Every structure is written in structure tokens, then in C-alpha cells.
């Protein structure tokens, strides 16, 4: 049998860490590695596989379109592309769509949109994450990721996640845009302060800046509404989308609302593969199935159940649970998230240690009673299995 770990270390760029396993196939909320070991997948490709793995609707759409028309240049339009753009505007209330291939490309388009305002400054938040290309990395509020690649884009500033800091930064009137995640996903699923997005909408409008929301992880029904901004009752100027809208097929989009939809003109931006018929057909199928099966409602209901189940475990390690719907972050009292994730994997459960203190959960939107019951058992075992020498509290004390 091929030594996949050795092959990975020999041929893959060193920017990628050693893989936790080599996966071979999936079905629903489960995957199997090359040795036949089964795992319950509560990460879903980092909030990507909205329908789980090998969903018949996804498979049929990709197979049919691949046999019909996979790609044309952007000199032409296709029916799947136009159908997807129309669907996204209907679900979001937006006006126009730029289709691309990933979340980081959607953010790059957002940066160019902001530059077209003619104002020099772009605001983002500390500890936020928006991608790894040079523009999106400039917005990412994690110095450890940015430092090796400086100098980055000029005019980008990172603020504390407070309304007061935002208000002070906007006073000069020279801010093009605020770019913000409704929930900080890569930070470990960390919520913004209560009322932040509503205040951000009011303040950016008052000072003539765009409000651009990074909905790459929170979009496509994951938080229990189609998009996280809809929970707040606001209308942004633009949203960046990717991940769950394609259900496993690489695709991204920048949606614009109102006057922001008039900023891009001919030749301002483009993409060879953006919105090609194969990707668009996959996204139409995924979004159509989410709508047909009310998986937005399932995310809302099952997310509440998942939160309650974690609380009922009663582990002294768990300090908080943040997020919405089926995007949840579990805070830990000790820096043992990596150990918890490793112990979970040993037991057949895939979760993510976003950092030393936070576990990220983003299961497929299709999960039900069986998956929740199994998760609860395996996650409780993983928490209990943290060696006592890593703890200041007794893991057996649930008082």
C-alpha cells in the first residue's frame, strides 16, 4: 500500500501541515480514510459541505453539467450562471453578483470595490480572517500571518471589536469601507459585541463608507438564516460568499446592494473561471436543495440542540459556547483544544482546534438525531480524555 504520509511530505509544498488522515470517500455526515476507518464529520470541510458528502443532488448536478458544458470564457454567459446570480440576489436581497472561485477572491473583489470609492482607508478587525492572497491577507487581523509578507496593501487598519473604536476611526471621513465577519470563524467562532453590526451600519452610512460583510463561513444557511446579516435586520453594501454556496465545488461571489452596485464598470475586474457553468450548476443544486429541504431551519433547530447537548455534558473544561446555528465555537478553560481535537479524531469524530482555547464545529446542514447523539458521546469522551497533567481542574469534577 502507498505510504501516503511519506508521499505528502515529499511532494506537497511545505506550507501545508502534515495531514491528520488521508480520506478516500464520504457519504452524508461521514467520511472514511484509505484504511477504512470511519469518522463523523463535524467540520464539513470547514463549513463547505453543506449537504454533506456525495449528496445525490450534488452528484447529479455536477455529472449532468460536466457532460453538457463545463467551461466557456467570460465573453459568454450561460444559463446556470444567470440562474445562480438571480438566485443569490433573491435570497440575499442584493442587486448584482460578481462570480469567482473562492472566498479569498471574493474579498479581493471587495477590496477593489472599496478602492473605487476614491477614499484611501479600509478598516478591518483585529483577529479577523479574510484570506491569504495579498489583498485579503492585508485585511486579515492576525499579525503572525501578515508579517512574513509585508509590505502589504497600504491604508488598511485593524481595530478592536468595539463600537467606540469604529466610531473614532470613521470621524475623519476618509474611510472607503469596513470589512468584517459577522462571526469571527477562524478566531474560533467568536461573536461580535451585541449590536455591533447595527451600529456599524449606522456609522458607515453616516460617514460615507461601505459596509462589506465577509459571509464566507456564515452564509448559505449555516447560521439559521440564509445570511448572518439577516439576523440583524440590516442591509450591507456588499457581502463576500464562498464555501457553503458550492457544497464542495470551488466557487465564490461578491454580492452588492444599492449604490455600491454601480461602482464596478467594464474592465474593472474579471475571472477566467468565475461562474463557469460547472461551478454554477453545482451551486444552484446545493442552494436549491437547502431551500427545498429547509436546511436553513434545520441549522437553526439542530444548532440549538447541539449547543444544549454540549452544555449538558457538564465538562469543567467548557467555558462558553458562541456562534449561531451550525457554526459554533466551544471555549476551553485550558489551552488544550489541540488535544481535545486529537482525542476526538482517535474516537472517529472530526472537529477543529481553531486555536489553543477554542474548538470549532461546523457540521453539514443535514445532520439529525443520530449524528447529534453520536457527537455528544464522542465529544464527551474526548473532553474526558485530556490528561490531567494538562489541567488545573479535575476533569472528573462536574460540580
The residues that are catalytic are 129, 214, 243
Residue 129 marked ligand-binding? yes
For 355, the enclosing helix (H) or strand (E) is: strand 352-355
Residue 216 marked ligand-binding? yes
Alpha carbon distance 174, 181 (integer Å)? 22
Return the axis-axis angle of helices 295-313 and 369-384, rounded to nearest 10°: 30
Residue 150 marked ligand-binding? no
Alpha carbon distance 52, 326 (integer Å)? 13
C-alpha cell of residue 177: 469601507
- What does the buried/exposed string (b/e) look like for 327-356 if buried means 16 or more CB atoms within 10 Å of the residue's CB? bbbbbbebebbebbbbbbbeeebbbbbbbe
Q: What is the DSSP letter of 247?
A: T
- State the Cα torsion 161-164-166-170 to the nearest 10°: -170
Residue 65 marked ligand-binding? no
Residue 227 marked ligand-binding? no
Alpha carbon distance 391, 381 (integer Å)? 16
Residue 217: closest CA among 103, 309, 80: 103
Phi, psi of 50 (to 5 degrees): -60, -35
C-alpha cell of residue 322: 458562541
CB 180 within 8 A of CB 124: yes
Alpha carbon distance 80, 76 (integer Å)? 12
Residue 122 marked ligand-binding? no
Residue 281 marked ligand-binding? no
Residue 42 marked ligand-binding? no
Residue 271 marked ligand-binding? yes
Q: What's the distance, CA 398 to chain centroid?
A: 33
Residue 132 marked ligand-binding? yes
Q: Where are the beta strands (DSSP E) in 34-188?
A: 38-41, 96-100, 121-125, 156-159, 175-180, 183-184
Per the annotation, where are the binding residues for N(2)-acetyl-L-ornithine?
132, 271
Per the annotation, where are the binding residues?
103-104, 129, 132, 214-217, 271-272
Amino acid at each position: 500500500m502507498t505510504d501516503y504520509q511519506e508521499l505528502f511530505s515529499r511532494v506537497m509544498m511545505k506550507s501545508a501541515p502534515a495531514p491528520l488522515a488521508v480520506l478516500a470517500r464520504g457519504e452524508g455526515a461521514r467520511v472514511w480514510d484509505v484504511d477504512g476507518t470511519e469518522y463523523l464529520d463535524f467540520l464539513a470541510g470547514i463549513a463547505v459541505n453543506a449537504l454533506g458528502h456525495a449528496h445525490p443532488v450534488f452528484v447529479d448536478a455536477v455529472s449532468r453539467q460536466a457532460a453538457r458544458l463545463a467551461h466557456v470564457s467570460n465573453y459568454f454567459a450561460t444559463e446556470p450562471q444567470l440562474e445562480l446570480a438571480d438566485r443569490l440576489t433573491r435570497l440575499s436581497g442584493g442587486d448584482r453578483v460578481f462570480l469567482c472561485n473562492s472566498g479569498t477572491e471574493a474579498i479581493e473583489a471587495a477590496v477593489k470595490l472599496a478602492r473605487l470609492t476614491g477614499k484611501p482607508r479600509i478598516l478591518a478587525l483585529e483577529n479577523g480572517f479574510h484570506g491569504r492572497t495579498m489583498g485579503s491577507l492585508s485585511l486579515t487581523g492576525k499579525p503572525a500571518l501578515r508579517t512574513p509578507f509585508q509590505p502589504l496593501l497600504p491604508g488598511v487598519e485593524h481595530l478592536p471589536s468595539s463600537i467606540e473604536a469604529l466610531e473614532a476611526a470613521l470621524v475623519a471621513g476618509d474611510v472607503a469601507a469596513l470589512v468584517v465577519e459577522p462571526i469571527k470563524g477562524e478566531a474560533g467562532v467568536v461573536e461580535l459585541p451585541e449590536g455591533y453590526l447595527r451600529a456599524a451600519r449606522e456609522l458607515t452610512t453616516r460617514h460615507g463608507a461601505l459596509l462589506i460583510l465577509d459571509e464566507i463561513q456564515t452564509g448559505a444557511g449555516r447560521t439559521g438564516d440564509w445570511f448572518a446579516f439577516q439576523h440583524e435586520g440590516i442591509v450591507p453594501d456588499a457581502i463576500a460568499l464562498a464555501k457553503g454556496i458550492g457544497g464542495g465545488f470551488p466557487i465564490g461571489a461578491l454580492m452588492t446592494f444599492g449604490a455600491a452596485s454601480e461602482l464596478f464598470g467594464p474592465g474593472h475586474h474579471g475571472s477566467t473561471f468565475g461562474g463557469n457553468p460547472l461551478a454554477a450548476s453545482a451551486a444552484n443544486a446545493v442552494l436549491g436543495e437547502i431551500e427545498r429541504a429547509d436546511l436553513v431551519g434545520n441549522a437553526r433547530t439542530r444548532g440549538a440542540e447541539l449547543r444544549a447537548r454540549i452544555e449538558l455534558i457538564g465538562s469543567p473544561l467548557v467555558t462558553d459556547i458562541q456562534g449561531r446555528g451550525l457554526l459554533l465555537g466551544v471555549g476551553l478553560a485550558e489551552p488544550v483544544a489541540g488535544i481535545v481535537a486529537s482525542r476526538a479524531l482517535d474516537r472517529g469524530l472530526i472537529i477543529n482546534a481553531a486555536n489553543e482555547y477554542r474548538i470549532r464545529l461546523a457540521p453539514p446542514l443535514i445532520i439529525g438525531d443520530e449524528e447529534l447523539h453520536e457527537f455528544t458521546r464522542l465529544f464527551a469522551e474526548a473532553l474526558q480524555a485530556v490528561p490531567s497533567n494538562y489541567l488545573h481542574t479535575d476533569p472528573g469534577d462536574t460540580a
